[in-house]
Structure 1
Amino acid sequence: MPIWRAVLLCVLTMPLTSELAAAETVEAGPFSLATFVADVTPPVGHPLQAGVGVKPVVEIADPLFAQGFVLCGTGKPVVVCSVDWCGIGNDAHDRWRAVLAEAANTVAERVLVCAIHQHDAPLVDLDAERRISAQKLGRHTLDATFHEAAVQSTATALKNSLAVARPVTHIGIGQAQVERIASTRRILGADGKVEFVRASASLDPRAKTDPEGQIDPFLKTLSFWNRDHALASISVYATHPMSYYGRGQVSADFVGLARRRRQADQPGVLHFYANGCGGDLGAGKYNDGSPVAREELTERLYRAWKKAWEQTQKQELKRITVRSIPLRLPPKDTAGFQVPDLEEIVTGGERTTFDERVRAAFGLSWRQRCDTGRPLDLPVVNFGAAQLLLLPGEPFVEYQLFAQQQRPDSFVMTLGYGDYGPVYIPTDRAFAEGGYEPGAWSFVAPGVEKALKNAIKQALAP
C-alpha cells in the first residue's frame, strides 16, 4: 500500500480538533459548493509579464481563465481562486481579494487568490504601474481598465454561481507521480555555488544530463463530492509552467492545455489547477522549447492528473478550520535595493532600460508595503484529512516539502504564487550560493527562511 494511503487511513479514524487559536475559526456543516470560471484573457497590445523581456499580446493561442470555488458552511464562505496570470502583487492582490470577498459575502482573509505563473500572461501590481505611468515613457506594465474588468468579471461569475451551489458531503484526496517535467534550475559546482542555471527550455546538453535535483514529484488533487457525485477538484504541482514564451502568443501553456483535457473528460466537474512552490524549478531538463515539447509536457501532466483522480480516497466532510497567520518578511536592503536606489532607477535617464525601471517599481511597491507595516497573511483551510495552504511570491520547493513534514498525519497541498509582492523567496543558503533567483527579482533578505517556516508551522499546527 502506498504510504500516503496508509496515512489517510489513519487520518480517517482521528477526531477533528475543535481547539481555537488566534485568527482561526472552526465551522461545522452542512456545506455547499459553488464553482466559477471567468475569462481573463488580455486584449491585443496588452503587456505580458509586465512588459519585461517579452512581446505584448500579438494573438491569442488559447484563453486565460480565473477559476475557483466558494465553500459555504455555518460561517462566512471560503473562496479559492486560481488565475492564469504571471503574478498578482501587493495592492492588485488586495483588490482581487476584496472584490471577491464582497461578491461572496465574506472577508478578504478567507479569500485565497493565486496566479499560476505562465509567462505569456499579465503580471500586475497597481502601485508599480502608477510609478511607471508617472514617468510618461509611452509604455506600461498593465492596462488598469482591463485589470479592473477582469476582477469584476470574476466577481460576477462568482456571485452568479452562488445561486446554483450544491451540497458537499465528502472530500477526496489523491496523488500521482509526474514523470519528466520538473527539475531544479540551480546546478551547483564543487564550491557550492551556482555554476549553471537550467532555464525552462534549453538546448544545452548539460541541462539534460544533470540530475533533476530536489523537486516534489507528485501532483496532488483535492476534490469535493455530493455523496458519489463529483462537483469540483483543485490540483497542484510545483514547477515553472512554461514550455516556450515571449512571442506575444497568449497561452495558459502546457498546464492549461492539460487542464482543458481533464475538463473534457468530465464536463460537469470543474477541474482547476494551481501552481505549487516552483520558484527554483522548471521543465528545462525535459524541454527544448519546441511545440512538440509543449505537447509532450501536456501529455505527461494530463496522465498524472488523471491517475491522481483515479486514486482518490473519500471521507465525509464534517467541519473545516480556517486559519490566517500574519507574515512579515525581511525586505532586501543592500545596495541597489534601498528606497533611494530604487527611486533613482524608476526615474532614471535614457540609459536606464524599461525592464530596469519596472523591476525597481515592483521593488518600491514591496518596500512601501513593508515600511508601512502591512503584513502579508498566510492562510490555510484545514479539512481534517487535507490542508490547503497558500504561500506568497515564488517560494522554493523546499518550503512545500517543509510544509508536508509539519503534518505527516494529513494531506498537505501547498500553493505558491499568492501575493506576488516579494517575488522570489529563496532559502537562506541560496543567497550564499548565488544564481538567478536570489538576485534582482528577489525583494527579500536572508532571514526570510526562518520567518516563512515559522509561519508555516503556526498555520499547520494541529
Structure 2
Amino acid sequence: MKFFQYLFVAVVCTTFGQLNFTQAADEPEFQLASFSVDVTIPLNHRCMGLLPTKSKTIADSLEAIGFVLLSSEKPLVYVAIDWCEIRNGAYDQWRDGLAAAAGTTRERVLVSSLHQHDAPVTDADAEKLLEEVGLKGELYDETFHQQCIQNVSAALQESLKTASPVTHIGMGKAKVEKVASNRRIIMSSGAVSFGRGSASGGKNYLAEAPEGEIDPYLWTLSFWNNETPLLALHSYATHPMSYYGKGEVTSDFVGLARKAMQKKHPNIKQIYASGCSGDVTAGKFNDGSKQSRIDLTNRILAGMEKSWKATKKQPLTQAKFSNTKLDLKYYDHAGLQPKRLRTILDDKSARTEDRIYAAMGLASYARVKSGQLIDFPCVDFGPAQLVLFPGESFVGYQLMAQQMRPDSFVLSIGYGECWPGYVPTNSAFADNFQDKWLWVGPGSENQMREALQEVLLPKVVEE
C-alpha cells in the first residue's frame, strides 16, 4: 500500500514539476511597456533658459514618451521629452524618479530632451542659486517640474500592468531630403564660419552653401510581438527648430511629424529622439517662415514612413546594458571663470538672462568639481545598439559610432545630460568653434572617443 502512495506522490510531484517547467519556458524573455504624458509648460514660463520672451500661447503640446524593457535583468527605461534641456540636479531627479517607478537603478534610466527652443531648460542646481539671489522661478517652475516627474513616473508604473511580450526588434533607415545642414560653412573670404543657424535659409549664401557634414539618414528601431509592431523609436540628427523666441510653445517640426506618424499608426507607439546634432540645423532649407515649418514637418514625416517601410525584423535575443563614466572638463576660460560668474549672479543691476546664464555655469562648475561624472550608456540588442550621448554632441560623434560598428545598426541619441552644452569635435575646436552655450573645452573628443569604444566595441575575452 505504501508503495502505491509513494508512487502517487512521485507522479504528482513530477507532473507539477513538468507543468511549472513548461510555464516558465512559455514566459516571454522580454516584455515592453510604453507610456506618454503631457508635459506642456504653463503660460509665462521661460523657454530655452535664456529667452527674454516667456510663453504666451500654446501652439501644440509638449510630451514625454517612453518605454520600459523588462527581462531577467533589471528594467531598462528610455524616455524622450519635448523640452530644450535637462541639466545637473534636474537630470538626477528625472532618472531617480523613473528608476524608483520601474524598480531599477539610475544608470539604467536613459532620459533625453529633443531640444526644441520654445520649451524649458531645467537645472535644479542653477535654480537653487537663483533662488538665493531673489530670482526664484526665473529659470523654471520647480513645482511644475516635480509634478511632471511624478506624472511620468505614475504613467510608467501603470504601463507595467499591460506590458506586452517582445519577440523581435526591427531596424530601418531612410534618407531625409532637404532638412539637415551643418553650421560650418566656408565664407567667400575663405574663413570658416559656424554661422548657419536654424533659420538662415533666407540668406542666399547660407542657403546655397553645401550641406556639409551630416547624417542623411533617419533611423528607426522598433519592437515587435511576432508580427505585431508595438513601438517605433525614430532618430534624426538636426536641431529641431524652424522659428522660435516669440512665446509660442511648440514641439516644432519634429514633434509635429511624430504626432502625424502616431495618427497614421495609432496602434504603434511613436517616439522621436534628436540625434547628435549640436552642429546641424535646418538652416540651408529653412527661412523661418510658417510654410518652412510645414515643409520640414512633411519631410521628417516622409523619412519616418520610408524608414518604417524599410524595416527588417530579427529575433530579440539580448538586451545587454553597459555604461561608462565620461569625464568632460569644465571649460574654465575667462568668460566662464567662477569668480566672474558669481559677480554677475549677485549683480542686481545685471540682466536677468545674464544672471541665469551665470547660475547655469556655476552649477556645472560645481558638479564637475564634486567629481560627479556623466553616465554614457549603451543598450546592445545584438544586431543593433542604442547609445545616449550628452548635451549637444556634434554629428561627428554619431558618425564615429557608426564607423566603430560598420557591421551593425547604431542608433545615436543626443541631449542626454545637458550641462556640457555643445560638445565639439577636435576639428571643430581647430576651426575655432566658439559659442556662449559651450561649457566643455578642447580635447573633449578624446574622452568621448574612449567612452564610445568602452560601451560600443565588443569586449575581447582572453582564454
Q: Same fold (TM over 0.5)?
A: yes
Alpha-carbon offset, residue 447 of structure 1: 1.2
Q: Partner of 1:143 in structure 2?
A: 141
1:81 alignment partner in structure 2: 79
For 1:265-414, what aligned pairs fall within 5 Å after superposition? 265-350=264-349, 352-414=350-412
Gaps in structure 2 of 5+ consecutive residues: 1-26, 459-463
Give the match for residue 6 of structure 1.
none
Q: Is the 8 A contact 2:52 2:353 kept in 1?
A: no
- Displacement of 1:29: 6.2
Confirm whether residue 444 of structure 1 aligns to residue 443 of structure 2: no
Cα displacement (A) at 1:196 = 5.6
Using a 3 Å threshold, how does the CA distance of structure 1 residues 346 and 153 change in structure 2: closer, same or farther?
same
Aligned: 1:456 with 2:452? yes
Instruction: Please tell me the residue identity of whatever aligns with 1:88.
Output: I
Task: Tell me the equivalent position of 1:30.
Answer: 29
Give RMSD over aligned pairs: 1.5
Name the CA distance, whole Å, in 2 between partners of 1:138 and 1:361.
12
Asked if the contact 2:28–2:165 (Cα under 8 Å) also holds between the matched residues in 1, the reply is no
Q: C-alpha distance in 2, partners of 1:387/1:147?
A: 31
Distance 1:318 1:288 in 2: 46
Cα gap change, 1:79/1:290 in structure 2, threshold over 3 Å: closer, same or farther? same
1:196-215 equivalence runs, <5 A: 197-202=195-200, 203-215=202-214
Give the secondary-structure state (helix, strand or coil) at the position aligned to 1:319.
coil
CA distance in 2, matches of 1:78, 1:137: 37
Question: What letter is aligned with 2:97?
Answer: V
- C-alpha distance in 2, partners of 1:145/1:89? 17
Q: Are residues 1:71 and 2:65 paired? A: no
Report the CA distance shift for 1:339/1:189 in structure 2 as closer, same or farther (over 3 A): same
Equivalent residue, structure 1, for 2:18: none
Distance (whole Å) between structure 2 residues aligned to residue 47 and residue 195 of structure 1: 30
- Supply the distance in 2 between the matched residues of 1:189 and 1:427 (Cα, whole angstroms): 21
- TM superposition shift of 1:53: 2.5
Note if contact 1:192-1:433 (Cα within 8 Å) is conserved in structure 2.
no
**Greater CA radius of gyration, 1 or 2?**
2
Secondary structure, counterpart of 2:335 in structure 1: coil
Cα drift, residue 360 of structure 1: 1.6
Q: Is the partner of 2:319 in helix, strand or coil?
A: strand
Report the counterpart of residue 130 of structure 1 in structure 2.
128
1:107 to 105, 108, 112: 105
Larger mean Cα displacement after TM superposition, 182-191 or 446-455: 182-191
Asked if the contact 2:172/2:312 (under 8 Å) is kept, the reply is yes
In 2, the alpha carbon distance for the partners of 1:319 and 1:197 equals 43
Q: Aligned residues: percent identity?
A: 46
Q: Distance in 1 between matches of 2:354 and 2:192?
A: 23
Structure 2 distance, partners of 1:200, 1:29, is: 45
CA distance in 1, matches of 2:99, 2:162: 18
Give the structure-1-normalised TM-score.
0.91
Q: Tell me, what secondary structure is at the counterpart of 2:453?
A: helix
**Whole-angstrom CA distance in 2 between matches of 1:356 and 1:127:** 16
Q: 1:138 to 1:161 in 2, by over 3 A?
A: closer
Give how far 1:136 is off: 1.6
Deviation of 1:374 (Å): 0.4
Q: TM-score, normalised on structure 2?
A: 0.91
What per-residue deviation string (whole Å, max 9, x for no partner) do you get for residues 166-206 of structure 1?
A: 00000000000000001011223478753360110122111
Counterpart amino acid of residue 371 in structure 1: K
The match for 1:19 is none
Q: Partners of 1:76 and 1:365 in 2: how far apart?
A: 31
Distance 1:75 1:139, change over 3 A: closer
